[in-house]
Amino acid sequence: MENELLTELEQKIGYQFKDKGLLKHAMSHSSYANERHMGKLKSNERLEFLGDAVLELVTSEYLFHTYPTMPEGDATKMRASIVCEQTLAFCAKAIPLGDYILLGRGEEISGGRTRASITSDACEALIGAIYLDGGFTSAKEFICKFILNDLEHKKLFFDSKTIFQEMVQGNIPGEISYHPLGESGPDHDKTFSVEVWIGEQCMGQGSGRTKKAAEQMAAYRAICRLKATDNKQKQ
């Protein structure tokens, strides 16, 4: 069953591994490795570490060539937004990578398959595995196809608070405010929930591993709502 799932994942990403063990390693969450007494080194954490470095390099090169007049400070901020947990989880959802992660039973039951921290880590581990299996060019192709694609749309997501502020200012009466709804999960893996309001109206709700990430998600959903309303009015 695992082999069938991993073969399906290869088809989804358009890359066939020479070493199938690397793909399984990349998809093995620590809960899966622990449950099977495989040892910590058999989880995807080290591949995630490697993939993170490859992703930073490819993203830096892409921004350098795509935005030749962008100041260093702005490029650094944009790169940080692209490689952050929430954006990677957003990209992983499009594959959908969560369907192929190997999890322990407890993590499976608690909804780990859709948890941003797990899917974003798996995405970086997959990049690391592709880099080891096929080299820098193969890893770069994956990153360009699934992470650096449609960057203008993704900018709505990773810079949503700023964009939402710009959309509201001077166009919609009322102050923007963010209201925490609470937090859940253990101390090492908390999930925060937030609502964003314009005046007395709730415009969107979001969650994330940090309050800032939750606010970005809430703002993104508010943007989608405003755009949908605007499109209806134009029809």
**CATH, range 160-234:** 3.30.160.20
Report pLDDT for 195. Answer: 97
Angstrom distance (rounded) from CA 47 to CA 124: 7
Angstrom distance (rounded) from CA 207 to CA 220: 11
Give yes or no: 52 in active site: yes
Angstrom distance (rounded) from CA 47 to CA 43: 9
Which residues are bridge partners to 191 per DSSP? 184
Distances (CA, A) of 209 to 101, 118, 181, 192, 216: 19, 11, 14, 6, 11
Fold of 2-149: Ribonuclease iii, N-terminal Endonuclease Domain; Chain A (1.10.1520)
Contact 36, 67 (CB under 8 A): no
Angstrom distance (rounded) from CA 217 to CA 195: 9
Which residues are bridge partners to 102 per DSSP? 28
Residue tagged active-site, from 52, 107, 133, 195: 52
Sequence-distant (6+) residues with CB within 8 A of 158 are: 81, 82, 84, 86, 87, 216
Residue tagged active-site, from 85, 121, 124, 195: 124
Residues of the chain with CATH 1.10.1520.10: 2-149
Report pLDDT for 205. Answer: 95
Mean pLDDT by groups of 10 residues along the chain of 235 residues: 90 96 96 86 95 98 94 90 87 94 93 90 98 98 93 74 88 93 84 94 90 88 85 67
Token pair listed for 111: 């909804």
Q: Could you tell me the strand order of the sheet in which 176-184 lies?
A: 176-184, 191-198, 201-208
Residues of the chain with CATH 3.30.160.20: 160-234
